Amino acid sequence: MAATDTAKKSRNPYLDSDEDFLTDSDDEKKVDNIVQDIENDKLGDHVPNSRWAKVKCAVREWGETSSCHGIPHLSQANTVISMVIWSVILAFCAVGFVYLFSNTLMQYLRFEKLVRLNLDLKQTNFPSVTFCNINPYKMSKIRTIKELAALLSVYESAANGTLL
């Protein structure tokens, strides 16, 4: 008997006979237990009976799934203090939004036109060459580095027109 049990365990489960499909494996039993637990949890959920309880449940569900900032925090608050704090924060933000929106809308609906053009066109002579000595590198230090000295000589010969 023990030899047949070890042989069954070592076999490929996909090659089992039809008789093995009639018995539940350990994995199938675990899955069945999980499904049964989920069904029991669904049955244990309290279904509201009164109209007020149904409205309260619907508002709480909406609040928990809302994408508006702060509303999920308010609906998930467990204590009265946290509910009051979140209510004050939400009320303050709502009042601020209404104030800023109404001011912006009133300003837009006034259709104000403000045009000020002050063009002061004077002819200015710009120099053809500008010298700015803001180079932080010292030429004596550049000439000590072989690669930079070679680059500098190429640049100077290109500037003189002798580069070929």
- For residue 59, the surrounding DSSP H or E stretch is helix 51-65
Kindly report, residue by residue over 48-81, the tens digit of the pLDDT.
678 888 888 888 899 999 998 889 999 989 899 9
Residue with tokens 């109209």: 51
Contact 142, 152 (CB under 8 A): yes
Kindly report, residue by residue over 115-131, the tens digit of the pLDDT.
787 877 778 777 777 66
pTM (global) more than 0.75 = no
Q: What pLDDT does 115 receive?
A: 79
